Amino acid sequence: MKPPLLISCDFDGTVTRQDTLVEILNTYGSGHWHDIQKKVAVGEMSIREGLQAEMSTVQADETALKELLTRRVEMDPSFSPFLKTVRAQGIPLVLLSGGFDLCVETVLAEKGLGPLPYLANRLYRKNGSWGVEFPYPSVTCQDCGHCKGDPILSWKAQGYTTVFVGNGVTDRCAVRAADLTFAKDDLATWCRSQGIPAVSYQTFTDVQHDLEGRGWL
């Protein structure tokens, strides 16, 4: 019997090929952002503090950011057919972004994929600079901007079998929470180092084939 699935996917580098924040910082941020990333990577700075510090260096308005994202960001071409299959079977798919609402919405609209439910951090503009809000604070996790573990735990509590697809540092809490994880890039390395089981994948076609093999799709 097919379990009641709920699939959640990281956005940057998973659904998209590029990381939207990296594109923004490379074009409009100060070169100093690499130092901030290093501090976050070794735990000297929280993910929240890092995101705020990085975005405060960005010298571009909303129009410029949208233009950049539209020009630079490509989708993983296997995502759209995967989404179609999943939708046809009535399986909910939610994007869990460690980045920003503006980036998710701009890319989805431009690629004709929206509306798609997502959770992300919020960007706002005040006095000519960018600020970051974290609308999904976690009670259990003080580090993540938007902790991807919490929503997955709540879906499990509602009876869903949870599948998570991701690639990076902000996906770690999701991996701990999900029933089944697909991991690539840094996330796959981290899962191996922690002894956490995860299926390694490269594209959403791999994810689809694996789920079909389990009889879940």
The amino acid sitting at 93 is L
Q: Is 99 in the site for Mg ion (CB under 5 A)?
A: no
Torsion of CA 31, 34, 40, 46, to 10 degrees: 10
Q: Is 175 in the site for Zn ion (CB under 5 A)?
A: no
Site string for Mg ion, 153-192 (x = CB under 5 A): --------------xx------------------------
Q: Which of 6, 7, 13, 149 binds Mg ion (CB under 5 A)?
A: 13
Binding range to Zn ion, per CB under 5 A, among 9-17, 97-105, 116-124, 146-154: 146-154
Q: Is 144 in the site for Zn ion (CB under 5 A)?
A: yes
Beta carbon of residue 97, minimum distance to Mg ion (angstroms, whole number): 8
Assign residue 127 a region: left if phi > 0, alpha if psi is -120 to 50, beta otherwise? left
The amino acid sitting at 165 is V
Q: Which of 6, 9, 104, 147 binds Zn ion (CB under 5 A)?
A: 147
Angle formed by the axes of helices 20-28 and 47-55, nearest 10°: 40
Contact 140/163 with Cβ under 8 angstroms? no
Q: Which residues of the shown chain bind Mg ion in the complex (CB under 5 A)?
A: 10, 12-13, 167-168
